[in-house]
Amino acid sequence: MISINNKQKSLIKCLRIYRIQIMGLIVCIAIASCESYLEVEPPKNELVSESVFETDASAESVVTGIYSRMIYSLGLYSGHNSSIAVLSGLYSDELDYYAGSNAFYENTLTPDDTSISVRWWREPYSYIYTCNVVLENLENNTRLSENIKVQLEGEVRFIRAFCYFYLVNAFGEVPLHLTSDYGTNALRGRSSVDAIYNQIISDLKKSRELLPNDYSVSNNERVRPNSHVASALLSRVYLYTKEWSLAEQYATEVMANTNTYALEPDLDKAFLKGSSEAIWQLYPVYPGLNTMDGFSYIVTTTPPRVIALTSSLVGVFAPEDLRRQHWVKSITNGTQTWYYPYKYKVRNSTVLTEYSIVLRLSEQILIRAEARAQLDKLGLASNDVNTIRNRAGLNDLSDSLSKEDLLEAIYKERQCELFTEWGHRWFDLKRTDRANQVLGTSKVNWDAMDILFPIPNDELLRNPNMSQNTGY
């Protein structure tokens, strides 16, 4: 990895700022000279015809199509090398990179990085746009059945909240698009983090009210959200916003459904399509593959073609930890050994045995543990942590741990339990204010500004009301 000293980084930052200022001036001049700049049309690939809302089946296909796009895009939600899980793992301390240079791994992101503009920005906003179109076409619609209108509204509100959750955690303040009006959205400035979280919470609460408690709409497969899926994301949101009592409440609500959700005693079954701890999964759509997670993570050559686990992550596990034995695998060339995630066991197969798990029960247990610790319910918090530890073959925590030590134990359990899943490690370091402490000593080019990603330059060029994050 090429090391960049502080003077070089400072110079780069200055150049970035000057470039953005010049670009902003150009944009302003262009807008001033064009009276019709508000007449912005959506890209052709974003258009959704009103005619699809004539029948229940066609309207439903618009929503189920979002889930397919999440996987098929090979993008942010897919489990591919350009996914949240992989890129966040590279950005933090979970994954090493072996395919040359990578700005996430080297912490040298710029506003021109296509992974930022295409994956982290445009992709979630494209799903948000579709959700807004659906909501607008459901309103006052007399052609669709009431049942399908309720179901689809609940689903798209959940999807919109889900997308905004990752946008706000990646970029901080972002534009809040609640309509499909491209002209208005194209010139919308950044909303506060509080406003975005308020909208996320509002959407999830409404989704929770509208959606059924079971998975009947998806033939009892856990591939479409129900009310418990909305509650699960709500508990996470309240954890992130430090609303400890509400985080505990909603996690408890999910965990109470013991007939539906339970930890798999056998760790090798935790990520199967029929896993009892799966709360929400994405259905595989690529022929010859199960999950893109398995395809991306499982290493078959030495050295690894793209990614492998860092030695620091592997070293966190106790030798007797069953997660180390069942969820981490190694490959060697005789002189060197590399480790890789083995939660998903199938790299490619025409027989579907694994679906990508987005939300699962163990996270809810750890959310409640952390919330209870913050509320000084130390005994109850320890009981929750011990549930996770015992499944992993580990002994109970000491009863004499202080609040601070218990929280550290919870953070470690989250690191061991949720590694390489949906950016948990990266976002945990951020929300607990440990990112600079941990990554500042382990990442060569880490800078405090790296806590947020840069706003894409092409977005700044299009929108004179946008501003860049500090340092870029």
Q: Which CATH architecture has domain 8-35+52-106+113-285+356-436?
A: Alpha Horseshoe (1.25)
Which amino acid is it at 357? I
Instruction: Tell me whether strands 95-97 and 337-341 are parallel, antiparallel or unpaired.
Output: unpaired
pLDDT tier at 345 (50, 70, 90 boundaries)? very high
Residue with tokens 């706000």: 168
Which residues neighbour 65 within 8 Å (Cβ) at sequence distance 6 or greater? none
The answer on pLDDT for 23 being more than 70 is no
344 to 65, 267, 329, 435: CA distances (angstroms):
24, 11, 11, 28
Kindly tell me if the per-residue pLDDT of 6 is higher than 50: no
Residues facing 328 on adjacent strands:
341
* pLDDT tens by residue, 53-73: 999 999 999 999 999 999 998
36 has pLDDT over 90: no
pLDDT per position as a tens digit, 314-329: 999 999 999 999 999 9
Helix, coil or strand: residue 298: coil
Is omega for the bond preceding 303 within 30 degrees of 0, making it cis?
yes
Domain borders along the chain are 8-35+52-106+113-285+356-436
The tens digit of pLDDT for each residue in 8-22 reads 444 444 444 334 333
pLDDT over 90, % of the chain: 88
Please state, rounded to an integer, the average pLDDT across all residues of the chain.
91
Vertex 97 angle, CA 449 and 3, to 5°: 50
pLDDT of residue 47: 55
User: What is the rounded CA–CA span in Å between residue 406 and residue 93?
Assistant: 22
How distant, in Å, are the alpha carbons of 169, 187, 382, 433, 439 from that of 426? 10, 31, 24, 11, 10
- Whole-prediction pTM value? 0.90
